[in-house]
Amino acid sequence: MKKISAFFMLSLSIISCSLNTDSPSVSCGNTKNVAFKTYSYCNTLIAETTTSKAIVVDTQQKFDAYFQPCVPPVDDATKKKIDFGTTMLIGVFSGVKPTGGYGIKIQSVVESDCEVVVGFYESVPQPDENVTQATTYPKELITIPKTTKPIYFQRVTQNTDYVVLGSFAGECIGSECQQFYGIDSQKVLRYSNVGYGNYEMRLYDAQALVYNEDFADFSRNIPREIINLKGQTKTYGAPDSHDQGGIYVALYQGTMVAKVYLDNDNTADQNAAMLVFKKIHSG
């Protein structure tokens, strides 16, 4: 793990460090998951980050030194303005990459009595993936509650076992009428402004909610019929055929993704286990 710096305790407002040099953190006391929110809008970097590194920003002045201003009226500069009195910005950068298909994601933020640890992972293009041939600069930005504890960055293995659960409706008014969540062993992600019919969650901003429920218990409620799909897609009933909406379930198991579209009506092809699962997790 790479410790940002003990000088963080001395209120340095912007700190950057390489993600390639490891040094041990010191685990201490009880730990808890920290709620965080992905941060992406009109601000772009004044200069792209060509090397692998992480940053911590906790004042508007230093934010302005890193990011270009929004351009009204096209951009809403106030919509995601950071209150640096209560919040700070964390960023991880992969550096320059020769093509598309590369990525970097923050998977977890965990706080103990003496430190905060940001877990991140990087990804590379798959052998058969169709990617842009242009140079890219993968990055991810999040906001977390402000802290004076030292922050460490830890490279972790990507969590490939999780569930996406959501409700959808074509006749849907308002940005929050479709609600989608990602659930894994560390957190619940709430996705924002999910497009109807487009449920690739990597495309959307998300907020990590504090999560205490045992993921294993949640997983045991998933009907065996969904688990046995093993990467297939299945529709039950006729979701949203008469504006009744539906429920979307995506079960990620390693490289396999089983996707299910459930009619909100209790149709004949939904067995008892499916009806119980739908009742527990709908709404």
pLDDT of residue 250: 95
pLDDT of 181 strictly over 70? yes
Per-chain mean pLDDT for the chain:
83
CA angle (100 as vertex; 64, 121 as ends), nearest 5: 70
Nearest to 255 by CA among 136, 141, 129, 137: 129
Q: Domain 161-281 - what CATH class?
A: alpha beta
Residue with structure tokens 């390489």? 18
- Give the pair of three-digit tokens for residue 111: 């706080």
Residue 12: pLDDT over 70: no
Residue-level pLDDT at 45: 80
- Higher-confidence residue of 122 and 25: namely 122
Which position has the higher pLDDT, 174 or 120? 120
- Burial zone of 156 (CB within 10 Å; 0-12 exposed, 13-18 middle, 19+ buried): middle
Tell me what percent of the residues of the chain surpass a pLDDT of 70. Answer: 82
Is pLDDT of 5 > 90?
no
Distance CA(224)–CA(121), nearest Å, equals 31
pLDDT of res. 1 = 37
Dig out the tokens for 225 from the structure. 């019929």
What integer is the mean pLDDT of 10-36?
63
Q: Which residue has the tokens 């995506």?
A: 250
pLDDT in tens, 195-248: 889 998 888 888 888 765 666 677 778 899 999 998 899 999 999 988 888 999
Question: Where residue 188 falls among pLDDT bands split at 50, 70, 90?
Answer: confident
How far apart (Å, rounded) are the C-alpha atoms in residues 167 and 97? 36
pLDDT single digits (tens) 30-68? 888 888 998 876 667 878 888 899 999 999 998 988 888
pLDDT value of position 4: 33
Ordered by start, the domain boundaries in the chain are 2-155, 161-281
pLDDT value of residue 269: 95
